[in-house]
Amino acid sequence: MAHGLIIPPMAPAPESQWDNVDQMKLSVQRAIDRWVGQVLCWGLSRWHSLTRRPVQVEGNTPRRLLVILLSEMGSVVLAQAMFDELQRAHPGAQLHVLQLRKNQSVMRLVGFVPESNLHSIDDSSLGHLLSSMWKALRDLRALQLDGVIDCELFSRISALLSYGCGARVRVGFTPHTQEGLYRGNFTNAAVPYNPYQHISLQFFGLARVMGRALSNPDELGHARPLNRWVLPQLPTALRSLPLDVNESQRFRQRLVADHPVFDRTSHRVLMYVSGGALPIRAWPEAHYIELARELLNQGCAVGLIGLPEDTPQAQR
């Protein structure tokens, strides 16, 4: 007998209204980042070249460091080795994280930094974006940050935020001699992005570069290729999530009570239907529905997982 947690709509459309809204919002964000961001990066680069001063870190011991991980939740898990290296190399430093508000759930789950050190930007509308950016930059500048790591590869807004937060040492990716996205030249510890290395290694390398830049501020302003010294093998495997055993047991009891089929011998299949508003990452809804029906016909128990904002799509 087929079991499942989803009820397909009577007449699924190949593309929903929600998809159109998300894609339109994403295209607007990309256009702003491309045209406005490029001009701002150019202007800020000119300003930086005129006002550049020697970097000084008190006693070469950083007190507060910021990590910018705006766009993707998956990057948080892959950045574990980077956070471990920062904590190992700078045990007395407070680590802060700046993210989009909608992407903070994973960071709260893995617990790399305390809740009080999480800072957010709301991109739900242009007004919320500007006001939340202003508040975030105001709060970050008040911290008097010693360094910032910009983990974004192609975003200009994150480069601008790394400068605006007031950190003395700014580590981030750069095209260097490669053709690619222009993000200005105000990242004073720039690292060429290497598409042939796993991103977790490159995040780890950014932490290594931060340590070198803080201890040798005279070397700032030169691109640092991620060579073997920077990119050794990662020292540890991914840690298990710090889950509360009692909370996990209560969730299991609730799941079995609401959906008994998930506690039987049926094959359990979890589907993540959201593509993060990127069409290349997700099928149209009709394809997911067809797949779910086929799995149900084969006796599988199908569950849909995702974020709270994915609920309307899952219900359809």
Q: Where are the domains of the chain?
A: 3-22+243-315, 53-219
Q: What is the DSSP string of 229-244?
A: TT----SSPPPPP---
258, 252 Cβ separation under 8 angstroms: no
Q: Give pLDDT tens digits for 136-190.
A: 999 999 999 999 999 998 889 999 999 999 998 999 988 766 666 788 888 888 8
User: Domain 53-219 class?
Assistant: alpha beta
pLDDT tens string 201-246: 889 889 988 988 888 776 666 555 555 445 555 655 666 777 778 8
> Which percentage of the chain shows pLDDT scores above 70?
78
pLDDT of residue 231: 55
CA distances from 204 to 149, 256, 303 (A): 11, 40, 34
**Residue in 217, 212, 178, 215 with CA at minimum distance from that of residue 195:** 178
Mean pLDDT of the chain: 80
- % of residues, the chain, pLDDT over 90: 26
> Strand, helix or coil at 82?
helix
pLDDT at 1 (0 to 100)? 38
Q: Provide the 8-state DSSP code for 223.
A: -
Instruction: State yes or no: pLDDT of 17 exceeds 50.
Output: no
- Runs of H (alpha helix) within the chain: 17-31, 37-51, 74-78, 80-89, 104-110, 126-142, 156-164, 199-215, 245-258, 285-297, 311-315
